[in-house]
Structure 1
């Protein structure tokens, strides 16, 4: 939680030993990225091989779409109590529930490899989606609790890295491991390898969470965190007031809707990508997975560069608008290259799409913190993710219906319209610099204190 500086009360003379950054902050970030990657992997592991899953379990495409939709449908209903738990109990509880819940979801699906056990898949996905709420709410909080102010944007970008890596691997690995075969026994064997592999991966990660992931470092990394530790934890009613304070700001409402549209479009296109690509490239399951993986890798690189850029320039609104506009352009390029049926160009256009969406993902978190300062980071990130999931459910269902009736091009054109609306809303966001002004005041007064 970050608190606005108040000169007389908050800035007593602080010795160097009262504020410190620890090397362990990088271990915390790595552990978080490992279990967040495993969680996001499960989000799309079935939808990228929709046609194969349909064949094995004898279900239709909408049933398979629900393995992804359920990740989005649960989130908005529990994000407020989960955000309160995270603020009151801290990062360790969030890691235990999010990480061990992810491990449990993977373990349950090991027992789903039978043609009549699709409901077990959905149970596993429901567990994973519940754990996901504890996963997605904390990158900005890890950045605040463990990293100094000058590292915050870079740390936040690195914190989203695990989610992006998990999505990339979800696009890449299932099409490689699970082959399209007329023999359902062979498909079942491949699915078993996929599920067991993830469950085994989560064993050492779960151990790391249990033994190496504390609530917070012994000493705070910044003045704002030092003061945050002195603030008495809120009651649930007081916590609800902070949510109200966020959603009554026009700037945040614009950003909330725009963010939900942008990431909702990305998740929806990723969910239905197998179906979209196969319309133009039959037997292109592995191509669909590879191009999505490449797009996320490009996004990871772009997000890291954005984080470094923001730490140096603090141009949050401008960078957000830039990434949003180019996301819109990239979907148009994806449509055109599909129409041309040039596979190399489809790879390129989808890579551009993934790059700018994933850049926007991290920049959007930081802009939200900037707009809602001094509210807790988990409040703004929780609301952004709730918007993403709510829009995601709607857009996936809409995109699926449009794809069935009109095909890939018209369904993608609907996404361009949505992104144009989001671009306009982002343009309407005023250039708010609440957190930057607070940090500047802290630095000025600290310099004055040390000089006296």
Structure 2
């Protein structure tokens, strides 16, 4: 392959264009510049189809992020998926338990702007370390909340973990853009979102498995202690590894879009203004918020939904949540692969959204069928598209807002999702008590149908793709 200097000499590139000097280094020089702090053996760099250098330890950075994100999100439904046990053990209301989930949404909204500013100014490493520390600290607070009069301390720990989430949810598109080439950026973003979904899946699965629903208060307390220690230990080890090995960025940009973005001066307030005056982005904010808001509402109240028709099926409630999220993880990877191969962002987003409506309708009318196996199958279909939509929305937003910082773009998306999530969770809980689950579920179907219509109105202004093609 010809180097960039060869291409200039041959007249293929304009010599007046700025040349990324990182690309002019020899392989040996690149290795010497980057080997410090690497934990991988063998060749650490390769050249992608664009002629840009990408580093193999980008997968290690992505792996660290996946585990880091999972360690936070697994605590989101840690209380609500065993709500009946928690209310009995601590003597608190179901509403108080629901707030252990909703606190994730409430804290995100006021904190996302300063967190996005910090990411824009300091980069991935500082932001990730702060989030990992908060996740670890909150988990340790819950270790000391096992006594039956200490629910308030557990809630305080949950709040600390919720605040740490602000330094996680908006990172996947930024990490993907900083470390991965144009032919892998959507897949990398989907894998980053996969980490959040992996944690949610574990949060649905582990608590019902560890904490016995029919145990004595002493047995329940011992089970809670084991669960909290496991999470605290895992987050502690992960925090140490992130401090030692996580890096902010590779020595050189991995794509033309990243190269151009890195060369631009970032003005955080100006970026906010541009985003809020971008019609396509505003429509995407609304549609993304509606979809993810419904997902939050269903996830938060899943224990109550399942136990309404299948008394005593506490473990099944957790497994159904697991099925929804695991199917969504598969959907995320499939959608990321499709986006990388086709770059049909509008069409993919609209198709996934419409399928989510169908999935929610099927879930609504099979919940009371009397056969819990049928509920499992309908949950697979719903989860594949509803949870699989998350990285699609992130990547579509990055396209229509380029070259604005991906962290700010995704941060505002998530803030909107938290607002809708809080409102829809409260509405869903109220409707469950007043009119029953059928009408509550149908209301969520209507919300998703509205989101589909809003998505259809978005214009496919793919600015990042245009920058890639122009280069």
TM range (shorter): over 0.9
Contact 1:79–1:382, Cα closer than 8 Å, also in 2: yes
Contact 2:22–2:251, Cα closer than 8 Å, also in 1: no
Contact 2:257–2:467, Cα closer than 8 Å, also in 1: no
Shift of 1:391: 0.6
Alignment of structure 1 residues 283-432 onto 2, 5 Å? 283-432=312-461
Provide, for residues 355-411 of structure 1, a one-character-per-residue CA deviation record: whole Å limited to 9, x for no partner.
101221010000001111111101110011001101111111111111111221111
Alignment of structure 1 residues 162-177 onto 2, 5 Å? 162-177=195-210
Alignment of structure 1 residues 4-19 onto 2, 5 Å? 11-12=18-19, 16-17=23-24, 19=52
Contact 2:399–2:462, Cα closer than 8 Å, also in 1: yes
**In structure 2, distance between residues paired with 1:84 and 1:13:** 27
**In structure 2, distance between residues paired with 1:386 and 1:228:** 24
**In structure 2, distance between residues paired with 1:254 and 1:275:** 32
Contact 1:172–1:293, Cα closer than 8 Å, also in 2: yes
Q: Any gaps of 5 or more consecutive residues in structure 2?
A: 1-13, 26-51
**In structure 1, distance between residues paired with 2:16 and 2:282:** 32
Q: 1:383 to 1:13 in 2, by over 3 A?
A: closer
Q: What is the match of residue 4 of structure 1?
A: none
Count the aligned residue pairs. Answer: 432
2:213 aligned to 146, 165, 180, which one? 180
**In structure 2, distance between residues paired with 1:389 and 1:13:** 40
2:86 aligned to 39, 42, 53, which one? 53
* 1:115 has 2:122 as partner: no
**In structure 2, distance between residues paired with 1:15 and 1:218:** 7
Contact 1:292–1:351, Cα closer than 8 Å, also in 2: no
**In structure 2, distance between residues paired with 1:204 and 1:409:** 44
Shift of 1:327: 0.7
Equivalent position SS for 2:367: helix
Alignment of structure 1 residues 50-129 onto 2, 5 Å? 50-129=83-162
Shift of 1:231: 3.6
**In structure 2, distance between residues paired with 1:160 and 1:431:** 23
* 1:153 has 2:191 as partner: no
Q: 1:385 to 1:330 in 2, by over 3 A?
A: same
**In structure 2, distance between residues paired with 1:432 and 1:8:** 30
Q: Which has the higher contact order (CA 8 A, sep 6+)?
A: 1
Shift of 1:89: 0.0
Shift of 1:17: 4.1
TM-score (structure 2 length as normaliser): 0.89
Equivalent position SS for 1:134: coil
Contact 1:10–1:227, Cα closer than 8 Å, also in 2: no
Shift of 1:190: 0.8
**In structure 2, distance between residues paired with 1:152 and 1:243:** 23
Q: What is the match of residue 271 of structure 1?
A: 300
Contact 2:207–2:227, Cα closer than 8 Å, also in 1: yes
Equivalent position SS for 1:286: helix
TM-score (structure 1 length as normaliser): 0.93
Q: What is the match of residue 224 of structure 1?
A: 257
Q: Counting helix residues as a fraction of each chain, which structure ranks higher?
A: 1
**In structure 2, distance between residues paired with 1:28 and 1:226:** 19
Q: What is the match of residue 244 of structure 1?
A: 273
Equivalent position SS for 2:188: helix
Q: 1:335 to 1:83 in 2, by over 3 A?
A: same
Q: Any gaps of 5 or more consecutive residues in structure 1?
A: 1-6, 443-452
Q: 1:8 to 1:324 in 2, by over 3 A?
A: farther
**In structure 2, distance between residues paired with 1:247 and 1:230:** 23
Q: 1:8 to 1:399 in 2, by over 3 A?
A: farther
Shift of 1:122: 1.2
**In structure 1, distance between residues paired with 2:263 and 2:457:** 36
* 1:193 has 2:250 as partner: no
Shift of 1:116: 0.8
**In structure 2, distance between residues paired with 1:117 and 1:195:** 14
**In structure 1, distance between residues paired with 2:98 and 2:258:** 42
Contact 2:22–2:252, Cα closer than 8 Å, also in 1: no
**In structure 1, distance between residues paired with 2:459 and 2:91:** 51
Provide, for residues 331-364 of structure 1, a one-character-per-residue CA deviation record: whole Å limited to 9, x for no partner.
1111111132221111111111111012210100
Equivalent position SS for 1:21: strand
**In structure 2, distance between residues paired with 1:245 and 1:293:** 39
Contact 1:326–1:356, Cα closer than 8 Å, also in 2: yes
**In structure 2, distance between residues paired with 1:158 and 1:34:** 11
Equivalent position SS for 2:331: helix
